[in-house]
Chain A
Amino acid sequence: MSTGDETLLEELLSGKHRALARTISKIENRSPGYRDLVSELYAHTGDADVIGITGSPGAGKSTLVDKLAETYRERGETVGIIAIDPSSPFTGGAVLGDRIRMASTVGDMDVFVRSMSARGTLGGLSTATADAVKAMDAFGKDKIIIETVGAGQNEIDIVRTADTVAVLVPPGSGDDIQTLKAGILEIADVFVVNKADRDGADRTVQELREMIALDDGGGLGGGHHGPDASTHHGGDDGSPEGESERDSAWTVPIVETVATTGDGVEALVDELAGHRTYLVESGERASRSRKRHAEEIRTLLREDVHTMLEAQLERSGGVDELADDVRRGETDPYTIANELLSPVERCLERLETERPTRN
């Protein structure tokens, strides 16, 4: 690690805000040396509770996050917030506006708000988010909140970085719940019906309740539980090992909130804490973090191999040249891929005989 990065790490660990901000920038930009920095951060992480908040645009995420942060601060806990906004796929530019709604805690540096844009990088944002969470964790934040629009696979990957995921459902979603349930509703550990003072809130709560009841019966989610998941009694017999992703011992609670006034926020904080207790006691926290780290390792490897292969492509005359060969009918993509990969395969075969040992 360069001396500059060593100073940065030291300053971050000693609580200098500027250093945390700069570290996150390095992570976002993938500046040289950021990997060493993040890998040094790992030793100092693991204490923070990571909460994901997702929901459709206009559901009230930013306002709710603001009130959550305020409540945590009143309880004497420090808060980090990562607010993710989409960026324009055309210019890469973005207007990140979540900060406007986070007004309850302004002037309080112990609430660290960081806006991130998707920057059009495939899969990259979830890695960057996870690393930014590590930085905030190492900095010493007690609660870290990730806020993102629940619009697709990319967002779901981001929110999986969290230990506990709250999904916001605005009232009057009505039939939408039917279409939602196949997507982001499955990742919910807690449902929040925000704007609960509006018409249709009761009905939305009712619909969610029915859906959760179905889920507990193993009906929803298809292959989620598998054919042998006949846990109709809904008891807490869930053994931590070998369970399906949604442990049947946790029944997803529904919290009604009015984020603009703060109604129901205390209840939400309690449910989030309840889920954390459940995670720890059931052993689910360990199994989730194992899964998450496995995914991190895979993603890193995929990116690294990708970079190596791009270099290899360059050496063999560039992808355009090869593509032209395919166009002229001289070869095909499969043959080219095989040719490019064969040296890699030979290397791996050689490694088979001399198994790598971890240092």
Chain B
Amino acid sequence: MTTTQGEIRCLVAKVGLDGHDRGAHVIARAFRDAGFEVIYSGLHKAPEEIVQAAVQEDVDVLGISILSGAHDTLVPKVMNGLEEYDAKDDTLVLVGGVIPEEDREGLKDEGVAAIFGPGTSIEETVEYVRENAPER
């Protein structure tokens, strides 16, 4: 069955040590208002916790918010974990936060589908998810 709009499940995750969750809250609300089911991880999660939640909740979309600058160590850990549980291929992984231009290519090689930096509009993000959420 193709995933219909109302059935898109997302995990909005804060990984690592930074405590800035305003962006994650805004995204969680926007996704909810778009009709998605949103699971919010809470602050300061380890990559393993994010993987556990993403696998168990069988989410279509995993949005990771990182503002600490540790994306180049945290994201690969999440991606490897997803692969371990056979969940990497059909989970759309997005990264939001401050990601320097030179790091973006590396993250995409890891399997991140898109990176949304500061200034990205909510509508753009929602639209991206609608168009790219994996069909199952």
B40 touches A100 (CB 8 A): yes
B55 touches A94 (CB 8 A): no
B52 touches A107 (CB 8 A): yes
A93 touches B33 (CB 8 A): yes
B46 touches A107 (CB 8 A): yes
* Interface status of A97 (Cβ within 8 A of chain B): yes
B57 touches A95 (CB 8 A): no
A32 touches B37 (CB 8 A): no
Main secondary structure of the interface of A (DSSP, over half): mixed
Q: Given the complex, which residues of A lie within 8 Å of B136, measured CB to CB?
A: 25
A18 to B53, CA, bound (A): 11
Q: Given the complex, which residues of A lie within 8 Å of B36, measured CB to CB?
A: 93
Flag A68-95 by CB within 8 Å of B: 1 or 0 each.
Answer: 0000000000000000000110011111
* Interface status of B128 (Cβ within 8 A of chain A): no
Which of A25, A93, A106, A112 is B34 in contact with, Cβ under 8 Å? A93
* Interface status of B110 (Cβ within 8 A of chain A): no
Give chain A nearest CB distance to B130 CB in angstroms. 13
B55 touches A95 (CB 8 A): no
* Interface status of A115 (Cβ within 8 A of chain B): yes
A89 to B31, CA, bound (A): 15
Which of B38, B40, B45 is A93 in contact with, Cβ under 8 Å? B38
Q: Which residue of B lies closest to A91 (CB)?
A: B35
A99 to B12, CA, bound (A): 12
B52 touches A21 (CB 8 A): no
* Interface status of A151 (Cβ within 8 A of chain B): no
Given A29-B7, A93-B35, A95-B32: A21 and B42 interface contact (C-beta under 8 Å): no
* Interface status of B29 (Cβ within 8 A of chain A): yes
Q: Given the complex, which residues of A lie within 8 Å of B32, measured CB to CB?
A: 88, 91, 93-95
Q: Given the complex, which residues of B lie within 8 Å of A29, measured CB to CB?
A: 1, 7
Which of B40, B42, B45, B86 is A18 in contact with, Cβ under 8 Å? B86
Q: Given the complex, which residues of A lie within 8 Å of B34, measured CB to CB?
A: 91, 93
Flag B20-38 by CB within 8 Å of A: 1 or 0 each.
Answer: 0000000011011111111
Q: Given the complex, which residues of A lie within 8 Å of B58, measured CB to CB?
A: 18, 21-22, 24-25
Which of A32, A93, A99 is B42 in contact with, Cβ under 8 Å? A99
A96 touches B39 (CB 8 A): yes
A106 to B49, CA, bound (A): 6
Which of A17, A100, A117 is B55 in contact with, Cβ under 8 Å? A17
Q: Given the complex, which residues of B lie within 8 Å of A25, measured CB to CB?
A: 9, 58, 136
A87 to B32, CA, bound (A): 9
Q: Which 9 A-B pairs have the closest CB atoms?
A: A100-B42, A21-B58, A93-B32, A91-B35, A92-B6, A106-B49, A25-B58, A31-B1, A93-B35
**A-B pairs with beta carbons under 8 Å apart, 13 shown:** A16-B86, A22-B58, A25-B9, A25-B58, A28-B7, A29-B7, A91-B32, A93-B35, A96-B37, A96-B40, A99-B53, A106-B52, A112-B56
6 new A-B contacts, CB < 8 A, other than A18-B58, A18-B86, A99-B41, are A17-B55, A29-B1, A31-B1, A93-B34, A95-B40, A114-B57
